[in-house]
Structure 1
Amino acid sequence: MCLIVFAWQQHPNTPLLVAANRDEFHERPASAAAYWDDTPQVLAGRDLQAGGTWLGVSRSGRFAAITNIRDPGARGRSAPRSRGELTKNFLAGTQAPGEYLAAIAKNIADYEGFNLLLGDAQSLWYLHGSISEASQPQLLSPGIYGLSNAALDVPWPKVQRARRQMAKIVADSQAPDHEQLRACLNDRRLADEQELREQNLSGDMARQLSAQFIVTELYGTRCCTTLRQHQNGLLEFQEQRFDARGELRGTEVFELDTKSAG
């Protein structure tokens, strides 16, 4: 489970605002956000098991994020390639987001189900990668969006709360800061059973995972990444990392001048 909320071309000074929680098993190794030694133009956290990333940016202002999806049609099927390479390869490359996604859409079966969000200074694109449903790249219109482990804007309770909070920040703040963005995703309350039933979710596990910020012994929110892309080309990237008790264990802060890099 992961959760991303983002505002695209909704604020006059910051055309892209992002807050994203990465949820994963605590035993799966990962490195903190940094510029990669083998791909210096990429800034991202890194999954040390498969070598990809869940979210990152490039020095030229490219942006990529991915979540897993629940795909009943894929049960029992093993996929040959890691989903983390989808973000990694885009950030390391130069292909336009729409063209990149069109190529990926032809090879959906190579990967387990995913939601892929890609962008640059000019556009933001989305692909729902499922073997159970038709998968076509979607150019996103200006708006406020939420993404978890179903398709874009499926109204899971925690997604709806995050979108409402982001909308309030955009409307009320002249300069939304990283603390405000993180507040969109730090609610540790569990959804009630009625809310879950309305989205065809049930059981103890579904309820444990219904919080925006998940805290369990084996699995939970490992990091929260926030991003502010400014009109002048400045890109701010922050990552906070958490342990199995949900306690803060480190913060990484970066600023990139993407216009000079481009």
Structure 2
Amino acid sequence: MCLIAFAWQTHPRWRLLLAGNRDEFHARPSAPLSHWTDMPIIGGRDLEAGGTWLGVAKEGRCCVVTNVRDPSDPQQGTSRGLLATDYLAGPDDATRHANTLQALASSYRPFNLLTFDAEHGFYIGNRPSSKAQPIEPGVHGLSNADFNTPWPKTRALMQRLQAWMDAGHEVDFAPLFRALADEHQAPDELLPDTGVGLERERWLSSAFIRGERYGTRACTIVAIGYDGKGLIVERRFGLAGRFEGESELPL
């Protein structure tokens, strides 16, 4: 995933309500949202490395991973997509997993990781150094920088998620999908400088990225109730943002 906003332990119905976009090269093969046959995971699947960018598992566990935008980083180490499968299919709860992973985080490619179980949520990252912190109840955001870094598109999605909750919505996810599909670019004075140049910063500043080689591949909503039940909805896109399908699975 490359853009995420989520509400943790603050919505009256949903313990975790997450809206996110996965941005990736269109040539990288992936499988759509499904129940995996070899692991107890529901999610899309990266067919190149075998992991996932977002998945859910039994008892309402959820995991989401993004990369870190830094063209000067050599991007060496273990695939970050395996971080999600290791947590979702592993025996540790979010707290124990975070404590263990923090000691190993430097061996992975640059990553930001969100993990949730029935009681706790954690942010774990490994740039510029390894860190793990519990997530407090509230609305939070994540893109390709540190947790809650106020990039314009991250702030905008957080605000629209908060507005969705303030309006009393529970299962009408259409406003959230509209927020994920927003192609508005931020003003130059608000853009971060991540080393990719002004033109590319502009292009990457919208929630939905449309491109021939790289762009938004999936928009996903995850809603997990306090009883661990809920649903996950995925909309998929191809070259130049062409819609390719939608899947919805209960949890």
- Deviation track 1:201-225 (CA, whole Å, cap 9, x = no partner) reads 5511111111100001110000011
1:163 equivalenced with 2:158 (yes/no): yes
- 6-15 or 210-219, which deviates more: 6-15
The separation in 2 between residues aligned to 1:114 and 1:14, in whole angstroms, is 26
Instruction: Give the TM-score normalised by the residue count of structure 1.
Output: 0.90
Change (3 A) 1:208 1:242: same
Residues 193 and 201, structure 2, Cα contact 8 Å, conserved in 1: no
1:260 matched to which residue of 2? none
Question: Identity across aligned pairs (percent)?
Answer: 38
- Residue 248 of structure 1 deviates from its aligned partner by 1.6
Q: What whole-Å deviation, never above 9, does each CA across 1:149-208 have from its counterpart, x for those lacking one?
A: 001111111001001101111111242432232233221011121111xx3355111111
- Distance verdict in 2 for CA 1:164–1:190, change over 3 Å: same
Q: How many corresponding residue pairs? A: 249
- Residues of 2 paired with 1:253 and 1:113: CA distance? 30
In structure 1, C-alpha distance between the alignment counterparts of 2:44 and 2:75, rounded to whole Å: 28
Which amino acid is the alignment partner of residue 73 of structure 2? R
SS in 1 for 2:159: helix
CA contact (8 A) 2:184 2:206 kept: yes
The reply to whether residue 14 of structure 1 matches residue 5 of structure 2 is no
Whether the 8 Å contact between 2:112 and 2:126 is mirrored in structure 1 is yes
Is contact 2:21-2:219 (8 Å) kept? yes
Secondary structure at 1:107 match in 2: helix
Deviation at 1:15, TM superposition (A): 1.7
Counterparts of 1:235 and 1:174 in 2: how far apart (Å)?
15
- Matched residue of 2:156: which SS? helix
Q: Aligned-pair distance for 1:11?
A: 1.1
Instruction: Note the C-alpha offset of 1:109.
Output: 2.4
Say if 1:193 and 1:88 are closer, same or farther in 2 by CA, change over 3 A: same
CA drift at 1:65: 0.2
Residues 1:237 and 2:237 are matched in the alignment: no
Matches within 5 A, 1:1-262: 2-39=2-39, 41-71=40-70, 75-76=73-74, 78-79=76-77, 81-130=78-127, 132-133=128-129, 135-196=130-191, 199-200=192-193, 202-256=197-251
Distance 2:87 2:145 in 1: 22
Q: Per-residue displacement from partner, 1:62-115 (whole Å, max 9, x unpaired)?
A: 10000001347x623622x11011000111112011211221111222111111
Which letter maps to 1:247?
R
TM-score scaled to structure 2, two decimals? Answer: 0.94
Secondary structure of 1:11's counterpart equals coil
Aligned-pair CA distance for 1:52: 0.3
Moved segments of 4+, more than 4 Å: none
Gaps of 5+ in 1: 257-262
One-letter amino acid of the structure 2 residue matched with residue 82 of structure 1: S
Q: Structure 1 77/14 Cα, relative in aligned 2: closer, same or farther at 3 Å? A: closer
Q: Which segment is superposed worse, 221-230 or 104-113?
A: 104-113
Contact 1:31 1:48 in 2 (8 A): yes
CA distance in 1, matches of 2:190, 2:203: 13
Alpha-carbon deviation of 1:8?
Answer: 0.7
RMSD of equivalent CA atoms? 1.6
- Whether contact under 8 Å (1:43, 1:59) holds in the other structure is no
User: Is the contact between residue 178 and residue 227 of structure 1 (CA under 8 Å) also seen in structure 2?
Assistant: no
Say which SS state the counterpart of residue 241 (structure 1) adopts.
Answer: strand
